[in-house]
Structure 1
Amino acid sequence: MSTLTKQDTFIGLLDTAPNNFSAARTLAKESYLSQGIPVAKAEEYKFSNIGKKLEQNISNVAPAQPFEVTSEMVHSSIFAGYEGDLLVFSNGKFLPQLSSKIEGVEVSLISEKNDLAIGSIAKPEKDAFAAINQASFEDGLFISVPKKAQIERPILLLSFNQANGGQVIQPRFWIEAGDFAEVTFIDQSISLGDNSYFVNKVIELKGGVNTHLKYYRLQNESKSAIEVSNIETDVQKDARFTSVNISLSGDLVRNNLSLNLLGSNSEGNMYGIYLLNGKSHVDNHTNVDHTIPHAESNELYKGILADQSRGVFNGKIFVRQDAQKTNAFQQNNNILLSEDAIINTKPQLEIWADDVKCSHGCTVGQLDEEALFYLQARGIDKTQAKGLLLYAFAGEVLEKIEEESFRVYCDTLIQERLGSKF
């Protein structure tokens, strides 16, 4: 009997792929065959044995089919105060009848764009799961923001996930923005039911000169959800890209985020908070590649781990030989609330240039007992005092969210989790 740690299991999924993008799919299939599902000894997945997790929980390696999503379900899932546009998905399939017609933005299926350079940004050879998605995704969504467009209303990507027998959900997005464009995306998934399922998501973002792209993501799915995401973006001259990722739940979640800084005065910002309890496992792998002089990157990830949860942070910054005058900052801070909680953190910095300002570091600790005593001495009970300190710790990441309604929503979720809400 084959297992998910063997290559032939997913090959059956690859062979069900549509006939379009044949060259890209063939390349991806070959990349997957050379890699296979990562096993425990794989360096990039050494702290996240996803092969074993898939083998134990995914019984049906087949595409998950869309299910009925009603307007009432959509309405009740939108967070309070949101005044933006909406794109709705069922098990990764786009539902235009429940989505907005966004003024000034082209939205179409990837299958309608035969000349699209699929896999040119999120390259399949870099990750086995990116290869699986590229080889076998059924369809995806193409979003194009024209040159000089200032899209003032945010765009919410609202995904409903529900799969029987642990099926595979494979969303795919190609998002591009012309020169001098500005747009904000919010990525949120809703779990329906407690069945285990596997989400294998790939998002390719292509910005032009002087664009400003913001991508906010909330992971608060079922405790049975397994997810791997590959998000990669090219950041051009004078452009800015900002990512904020908030992970609150899931069985095993792996976030791969890569920024390619390709022009002078480009800026990449990567922020994240993972707030974990139970046996949740979240693995954040980030990559920033400085290739050109006069570029800047900022990275701050914070983790709060309780019970038997486990966090992984592996951040890599590459400064190429020609990338003089680079300014790069990376920091990962963690608080462990239980003796059984585990964090594996590995910030990395590789520099081939000599005129740069770069720093990286990590911290792992517990709550400050003196600060806790100070609050209790002023009449705040221990639970609330603890929550307030933890909320203050997380707040540095939350304040990076410029979209107010989404920031307030995430703020409320985190306060409720931490017990700091009065």
Structure 2
Amino acid sequence: MADCDRLVTARSATEPSWLRNLRRQGIEHFVDAGFPTTRDEEWKFTSVAPIADRHFAPAQDGQSGLTTDLVERWAGALGGYRLVLVNGAYAPQFSVGGLPAGVHVSSLRSILATNPAAVEPYLGRFASPDRQAFTGLNTGFLQDGAFVWIPPGTIIEQPISLLFVSASPETASVSHPRVLIVAGDRSQARIVEGYAGPPGQEYFTNAVTEVVVGSGAVVDHYKLQRESQRACHIGSMYVHGTRDSTFSSHSIAFGGALVRNDIIAVLDGEGGDYTLNGLYLVDGRRLIDNHTTIDHAKPHCGSHEMYKGILSGHARAVFNGKIIVRPDAQKTDAKQTNKALLLSDDAQINTKPQLEIFANDVKCTHGAAVGQLDEDAIFYLRARGLDLQQARDMLIQAFAGDVLNRIRIEPLKKSLEAHLLSELPAAGGPANPQ
């Protein structure tokens, strides 16, 4: 604890008292809770030993060796504004301007230094440090990140891209990026939050995202996780919406050795509508864990959730989806679907849909399915001239298409479709290899 105190004191020497207190709360909670273990129900199938047992040095500025071409490839040709952070620090040389008047996007460090009052009402309000150990750790050591402010009534046509790159070739490093998105009443925005890193590099990203959706606002959020196959990624997103708010999340995970994504979304106003879509591709001995919670706190709200996974090799996945309907949340309409496609006998998924309903006038459904490629469908396609690889790829793409077709940014959709196709395992034998 003494080492943590020294680090917090050093980082917070010039910060306002409320931020110092928030940091201290985060560290104290993490020290009290410690790293989660498989004895914790929420982490039953996911061991964080690769993180807890490894020394990760704090990521340093100016050690990346990145080129503009490489960053452009990760960012994609999406147009609009782009904010890039490398090793947890704002990188202006890779960022792109062009925001509409009144819209504010900046590094979190910058806004905390120049106008902390703009952040104080929101930072840590819904992602409180005691929500989860890794959230506490992020809060204690947050150094930089992104702040997005959409003024009331503002409609942004082009996407806002936030790209976080980890690149420390000499040492295993850790960064704790923080994203704060505030959408004013009746505003509309599309935000792409991406994480990437050079192949083969070892690092740990511990990210926290807070999204505040105002009354009548519409936020379309995309999280793209395309990191090194040796990377560890813990991502926690907290969403809070008020009356008639609309929020959609599209979580796409294609990289990392150990990945855990948590989404906690609260509908705290009548007429809210939330959508959570997810797609993950995992191979080798990698692990991807998705935990979602949709909390219906007010009546006349709807939620729709679809997660799909594609597993091969000895890969493992976890899906835990919880829907909570509070006593006052009458007329709730909630649907949840989770499906996994196993491309080998050694791949494994643990799935746990949960409904906690405390109201009586609701419509709530959930379903989970785990299966393999249909041999009859493969035979049918091969009889019409496709080879085995083409037949398998077509069926896998159709499976993933239910999620990818919901992406509303066309260049992003096409990029992800191409990336998925390039990452699919080769057909070395029958669809269900022994």
Q: Normalised by the shorter chain, which TM-score bucket? A: over 0.9
SS at structure 1 position matched to 2:402: helix
- Measured against aligned partners, the alpha-carbon deviations of 1:74-127 in whole angstroms (never above 9, x if no partner) come to 3344424x2222111111211234323322311233423423132111122111
Shift of 1:417: 2.5
Residue in structure 2 matched with residue 4 of structure 1 by the alignment: none
Residue in structure 2 matched with residue 185 of structure 1 by the alignment: 191
Which is further off, 187-196 or 258-267? 187-196
- Measured against aligned partners, the alpha-carbon deviations of 1:255-302 in whole angstroms (never above 9, x if no partner) come to 011111011110111000111111221100111000000000000000
SS at structure 2 position matched to 1:246: strand
1:297-312 superposed matches below 5 A:
297-312=303-318
SS at structure 2 position matched to 1:192: coil
The whole-number CA distance in structure 2 between the counterparts of 1:220 and 1:103 is 29
1:15-414 superposed matches below 5 A:
16-19=10-13, 20=15, 21-50=19-48, 52-56=49-53, 58-67=54-63, 69-80=66-77, 82-101=78-97, 102-104=99-101, 105-108=103-106, 109-112=110-113, 113-115=115-117, 116=120, 117-163=122-168, 164-414=170-420
Which is further off, 133-142 or 271-280? 133-142
Q: Percent identity?
A: 37
- Measured against aligned partners, the alpha-carbon deviations of 1:137-166 in whole angstroms (never above 9, x if no partner) come to 123322101111110000111222113432
Give the TM-score, by structure 1 length: 0.92
RMSD between aligned residues: 2.0
Aligned AA (1:256)? D
Cα 1:284–1:12 change in 2 (3 A) is: farther
SS at structure 2 position matched to 1:83: coil
Aligned AA (1:84)? G
SS at structure 2 position matched to 1:165: coil
The whole-number CA distance in structure 2 between the counterparts of 1:130 and 1:180 is 29
- Measured against aligned partners, the alpha-carbon deviations of 1:364-387 in whole angstroms (never above 9, x if no partner) come to 111112211111121111211111
Cα 1:317–1:146 change in 2 (3 A) is: same
Structure 1: state its 5+ residue gaps.
1-6
**Are 2:56 and 2:204, in contact at CA under 8 Å, matched by a contact in 1?**
no
Cα 1:209–1:346 change in 2 (3 A) is: same
Cα 1:269–1:73 change in 2 (3 A) is: same
Aligned AA (1:88)? V
Cα 1:387–1:71 change in 2 (3 A) is: closer
- Measured against aligned partners, the alpha-carbon deviations of 1:185-222 in whole angstroms (never above 9, x if no partner) come to 11222212522110000111111111110111211211
Aligned AA (1:46)? K
Cα 1:78–1:280 change in 2 (3 A) is: same
Aligned AA (1:103)? P
The whole-number CA distance in structure 1 between the counterparts of 2:289 and 2:237 is 14
The whole-number CA distance in structure 1 between the counterparts of 2:249 and 2:416 is 15
The whole-number CA distance in structure 2 between the counterparts of 1:380 and 1:393 is 18
SS at structure 1 position matched to 2:125: coil
Shift of 1:132: 0.4
Cα 1:48–1:8 change in 2 (3 A) is: farther
Shift of 1:407: 0.5
Shift of 1:306: 0.2
Residue in structure 2 matched with residue 3 of structure 1 by the alignment: none
Q: State the number of aligned residues.
A: 411
Shift of 1:10: 6.7
The whole-number CA distance in structure 2 between the counterparts of 1:235 and 1:395 is 28
Shift of 1:59: 2.1
Structure 2: state its 5+ residue gaps.
427-434
The whole-number CA distance in structure 1 between the counterparts of 2:414 and 2:116 is 40
Aligned AA (2:50)? K
The whole-number CA distance in structure 2 between the counterparts of 1:271 and 1:354 is 27
